[in-house]
Amino acid sequence: MDIRQIRYFVHAVEGRSLSAAAKRQFVTVQAVSKAISELEHELGIQLLTRGNHGVKPTAVGVAFYERARKTLANFDELDDFTKHFPTSRDNEHMSIALCSPSFANVEGVMASLSKFIGKRLGLDLEIFIAPGRESIEALHAGVIDAACTLGEYASPGTDCVSVGSLPTGVALARTHPLAHNRTISLSEMTPYPVVWSETFDDFNHSIHAMYRERGLASEAVRFPSNATDEQVSAFFSEQNGMAFGAVLPFNQTSGNLLTFLPVDQRDQVRVPLCLITLKSQKTDAYRAFERSAATIFRGGQILGSS
């Protein structure tokens, strides 16, 4: 039994046909059929009933599917986790995970930022986007040197050092009634729902949490980590939803759906930019980065040029 067989079986059940599974995996129907047949042979049980109108699981197949689906989800989560992080580590290489949602041209921005800061420090520096919890797990595993968070983070065994702060704003659809404002106030936001991300807002003292403390009255709509693009798009375009973010020196919105407005100065809260490290382990490369970070990110701006 291997993960390929499990994947084909799960997709065949969910798509109700071998061809649906094949299309989803970009393989031939014959490849899917062979893999599932081999799986059934290995197990000594029939998992699918095949007919002219597709396939459906047998009674045993239904029970097997429920377990296989969870196994596949766990494997995909593990696979996604490993893809977030580089594998090469040495004394002259430093890796920092920026705990932030993705944004437009993220790979290009992170590459330019890594090159600029790395040049100033004389290091081979890699900065990349990753979810918060995965970043902390990687920190404890020794895969990265530090995590960088928007907002304070506290947990046993870690240190949190603020290296500056960033102004904050709101992402909203270009069709939103307030999209043509120059800034946006908390009172103007009240009629509209605001994202509460289980991935980011549940992780640390986030921008959303800071504005709640300041009196934000908008409805908080929880977004699970597996929210689909369609759900996100509908939230912004159909519900006139909003999401908080930091004002950064590069475009953060993807495509033509969203725009980004700063919060009005009367309500403005600056979010701390923090470096998270293990109490028990701080590399020389990290210490050099920490000493220079306050200058590099002074006032929330990236100084100089590459």
Most confident among 9-13, 185-189, 283-287 (mean pLDDT): 185-189
pLDDT given for residue 111 in this prediction: 85
Which of 104-113, 117-126, 275-284, 287-296 has the least mean pLDDT? Answer: 287-296
pLDDT given for residue 90 in this prediction: 52
Residue 174 token pair: 């270009």
Helix, strand, coil proportions of the chain in percent (round to 5)? 40, 25, 35
Tell whether 69 is covered by a domain: yes
pLDDT given for residue 306 in this prediction: 32
Does residue 102 or residue 177 have the better pLDDT? 177
Tell whether 150 is covered by a domain: yes
Q: How far apart are CA 264 and CA 182, in angstroms?
A: 9
Residue 7 token pair: 């994947």
Q: What's the mean pLDDT when you consider all of the chain?
A: 85
**SS3 sequence of 37-67:** HHHHHHHCCCCEEEECCEEEECHHHHHHHHH
Taking Cα atoms as reference points, which of 24, 2, 27, 1 lies closest to residue 12? 24
Q: How far apart are CA 223 and CA 80, in angstroms?
A: 19
Q: Are 285 and 151 in the same domain?
A: yes
Does residue 10 or residue 88 have the better pLDDT? 10
Q: Check pLDDT > 70 for residue 84.
A: no
Q: Are 288 and 256 in the same domain?
A: no
Residue 25 token pair: 């995996």
Last residue of a domain, one of 37, 59, 83: 83
Taking Cα atoms as reference points, which of 78, 110, 76 lies closest to residue 95? 110
Taking Cα atoms as reference points, which of 274, 290, 267 lies closest to residue 148? 274
Q: Are 153 and 226 in the same domain?
A: no
Tell whether 48 is covered by a domain: yes
Specify the number of domains making up the chain.
3
Tell whether 267 is covered by a domain: no
What is the per-residue pLDDT across 59-69, written as a single tens digit (0 to 9) for each? 888 889 988 98
Q: What is the CATH number of the domain that holds 241?
A: 3.40.190
Tell whether 88 is covered by a domain: no
Cβ atoms < 10 Å from Cβ of 294:
13
Q: Are 288 and 248 in the same domain?
A: no
Q: Are 248 and 173 in the same domain?
A: yes
Phi and psi at residue 219, to the nearest 5° = -65, 135
Residue 227 token pair: 């929210």
Average pLDDT over residues 128-145: 86
Q: Are 277 and 161 in the same domain?
A: yes
Q: Are 196 and 238 in the same domain?
A: yes
For residue 182, which amino acid is it? R
Percent pLDDT > 70 in the chain is 88
pLDDT band at 150, cuts 50/70/90? very high
pLDDT band at 70, cuts 50/70/90? confident
Q: Are 134 and 281 in the same domain?
A: yes
Which of 104-108, 159-163, 237-241, 264-268 has the least mean pLDDT? Answer: 104-108
Q: Are 143 and 280 in the same domain?
A: yes
Q: Structural domain of residue 58, as residue ranges?
A: 3-83
pLDDT given for residue 48 in this prediction: 93
Q: What 8-state DSSP symbol labels residue 264?
A: P
Q: Are 161 and 25 in the same domain?
A: no
Tell whether 306 is covered by a domain: no
Q: Check pLDDT > 90 for residue 214.
A: yes
Q: Are 59 and 113 in the same domain?
A: no
Tell whether 12 is covered by a domain: yes
Tell whether 305 is covered by a domain: no
Does residue 124 or residue 299 have the better pLDDT? 124
What is the per-residue pLDDT across 25-51, written as a single tens digit (0 to 9) for each? 877 888 899 999 999 999 999 999 998
C-beta separation of 121 from 76 below 8 A: no
What is the per-residue pLDDT across 186-198, written as a single tens digit (0 to 9) for each? 999 999 999 999 8
Q: Are 130 and 277 in the same domain?
A: yes
Q: What is the CATH number of the domain that holds 106?
A: 3.40.190.10
Q: What is the CATH number of the domain that holds 30?
A: 1.10.10.10
C-beta separation of 129 from 200 below 8 A: no
For residue 223, which amino acid is it? F
pLDDT given for residue 301 in this prediction: 45
